[in-house]
Chain A
Amino acid sequence: MNVSLPYRWNIFFRILIAAGGGMFVASFCVAVIATLFPAHKALATYSGMLLSFVIWLLMALFAFTKLPKKNGFRQSMSWLHTWTGLVVGWILFFIFVTGTASYANREITRWMQPERPMESTTARSAATQFGHAIEALRAHPDAARATNWTVDLVSNARTSSQLTARWSNGNAEQRGGNSPSIVLDVEDFSQAAPSEAARQTAGGRALLRMHYALHYMPYGWAVRIVGICTMLMFIAIITGVITHKKIFSDFFTFRPGKGQRSWLDAHNLISVISLPFYLMITYSGLLFFLYAYLPLGVPFAYGFEQEKQQAYYAELAQETASQRLIGRMAERTGGGGGGGQQGANAQRQVPQGMGNARPGGGAATPESTGPGPQEMRAPSRVGGARPEQNGNSDRSGGNSRGEVRPTGDEDPMTRRGLGAQSARYTDIVAIVERTERQWGHGEIRSVVLTTGRGPDAPPVLQLAPAWGDSLRRGGNSPNLQFNAYTGEEIVSPQRATPPLNERIAAAMIGLHEGLFARPLLRWLYLLAGLLGCAMIASGLVLWTVKRRPTRESGGFHLGHSLVEKLNIATVAGLPLGLAVYFWANRLLPVDLADRAQWEIHALFIAWLLSLAYALARPLMHAWREMLILTSASWFLLPVLNAITTNKHLLAALTAGDWVLVSVETVFIGVGLVFAWAAWKVHTKMQAPARRPRRKARGSAPETQTSKESIADDEVNT
């Protein structure tokens, strides 16, 4: 691997062209597109921004065509694929593992708070549930004075475990996750004793945050690092496709037990079968922080002054009729938005939101800045309190600013309370009944009642569906609203259909988050995410397998050895860390200060220790032992759970709590996968002598064809 100096300079300049030149050209294209459509400059700029990553990508590919020592385009692309993949492979693996877990973030949080009751399903209609909850609220002296009642029903919605009636007065503190509540038994509607407080946990939400904001690192930095990795992954995916001549026939091809050939097959197969998912997830990942990733785009089109850029955002908000601009990082906003906060700070908020076992409460959709279907929103359009979700803080900083916060709460006239008004209500239970008939059983997620804004304004009843009906984030049809006195539907003004580019961007982001995914689709998302992890892992291993130093080449190479060790530490060590994260959740003392933080520390400590272990042990031994350890730590999670809590797998099965059953089944499944991998490594270690013999004995033509076909696929160095 002797690399000459001119070659290094050559590559260095190409990287410079790809990165700097690519950004410059992409930004320039934004400006050109913007000037082409002066009438809709903001929209054109926006389209340019959405396209910019593709242009940047093309520039990068262009910069690496015709590499020295490579025959032609495809081999150059293959080189680019290899190295982009390797350079960011480990971070990408981290991003993919934590990101995949976040498709089950709320389910994970629920598992991590075993104090929360078993999730029940019920045949009770929404109207019955709502009727009893309203009675309870009416009877409660504090609730009767409140200006906002929220009833979370047991429904088909994700983690809707309890019938909960909450009340608040719309001040900021109470609008958080901590508003007082009554929990009703969904069968006999007796008031449940206040359940024991759920333990502090970083939960699934911390994993979700880590997958784009890493940890132990300033937010702005971390997000940009993840962005660079994402862009390189985008390049790796596209070059991978270009490199791959026989993409379609490799849909079905896997030849096991043939060393490098098998690794290549596995990598190809895994990559190809979920290709649409990878493309979607990578491209949409770039859109989340669009303006941070292409900082020159808007300045080129609008000018470098801050006011001019603000003018763009204002114009765009007007054109798209939305204050929630996609891709705008709320980095410098203090106050409400957690976006600008440093990791530790934002993390500390986590447990509060999750502390109360409110279905979909604090754990709700941290990525969704909008009124996702999961999140109940009081009618901000009509006024009144809007339940702020703690979980929103990450990215909503820039978004909540734009919204006009109704000031009706502070008006003393509205403080009469819903209880006093309730005498004048029409039969609101009948409205719920009617809506459920229309939407279907279990399809109402929650019902909110809010006092009107003015002294005589009627209270508003708002019904939220269990699931969204749009791919777009925030693109769902608005919740149904009714005048609680007359029962008339309040028809909110028809929202104008946003322009096409906005719809595409919102759909991409919606697809990335998958908030709309019902169980079947959620499983498929999880599968695709796991395949993504496997793709990265197999690619990393393939790199080393292909370059294992032979005896002729001296037998040792520092760089190669380092990659091998990092592979062990990441591919086996990170999943171990994740398992340890769950172990810590059960084993750390419940009253430990900063408990959530310590769970996260446990993850990284375990990861670090596995690196140390990988460095200390011989290669194959380290693989085998790490894989066994990882496998065992996942396998034993259900056992640990059974010992430390009363929500073990059998109990969950009997109670029909499918969320807990699923989580534990996945634990066992992951354990099985690693056990299988460990077994494979073990058998390979047991039979080292057989391979050369078989090679010698094996018919010459066969080895030749396999070599040929490898060369044929042109995945080479």
Chain B
Amino acid sequence: MTEAAPDRLTRLLALISYLEENPGVRVATVAEHFGVTSEQVIDDVNTLWVSGAPGYLHGDLIDFAADEFDRGVLTLTDSQAMATPLRLGATEAAALLVALQSIAAVIGENDLVSTTMTKLRAAAGDAARLFEAVRIDAPRPGEYRDLLADAIAADRRVRLSYVSAGDEQTERDVDPVTLLTDGAHWYLDAWCHRARAPRQFRLDRILGAVVLADARSAHAVQRAPATLRTPGADGRRVRLHLASPARWVAEQVPHVGVEDHDDGTFTLELGVTESSWLQRLCLELGPLLRGIEPPEVAHEIAAAARSALRAYGE
């Protein structure tokens, strides 16, 4: 995909400021610093080289030391008075401020993050007002986050006591890979020796964890960086007819589709892989649930509600 012009312009201007301060820097170093390829840096330099003030003759253009450029080294010889580093736009500052706040919310007290925060505030100017106006409620990591982080750092296997979404408790040895959060829950990405497969465990469902003496297996160490699993399209199709206050379900549960009705109710189509999970969701919703399709699923879930009522003598 081609880079959007405002993003490219921002880097072109940033390169002028950076190269003015850092003469004789290698193309590869610049590329790494700005998170782009060396080809991109050369392309940028070639663009800068033909840019300048109206007239566009030799003395009007941004210029580099050509002999050094041929050796892969960049030295700016004429910045056309554009070397002043450009301030942050309001939305740019806000986007980075809030992103940094989200990191702070997730990891808690941290010296490096708080000094970075102070300096970013100073750089942001007026946009730093958002610091007071934005709050990020990170999910609580629970009591085993530190233990798991230590196990990852020490390259150790962990024995977990874990409760599945279907409310079943199991003991399993896992090789922890990384901790992740999607803003609602914390997860441990790990190689599970019980399942002999990679698995993600929700930290709030871990009832116990012990670090073992064994080192992690190659499975764990060689895995690619994890991303959060997003369930959804596979599984049995079930349609829930819901009252408007149950809107949070559509906002939080991965689903196949949602259809709004004129009376304010809506129908949510789910791909269900675990029937115990669906049963739990339906019973939690209670009167907000207006209907379930197909009928055999409705029958199954209503039966579960009736057997619960019997325990109350109802």
- A and B interact physically: no
Q: Residues of A at under 8 Å CB distance from B?
A: none
Q: Residues of B at under 8 Å CB distance from A?
A: none
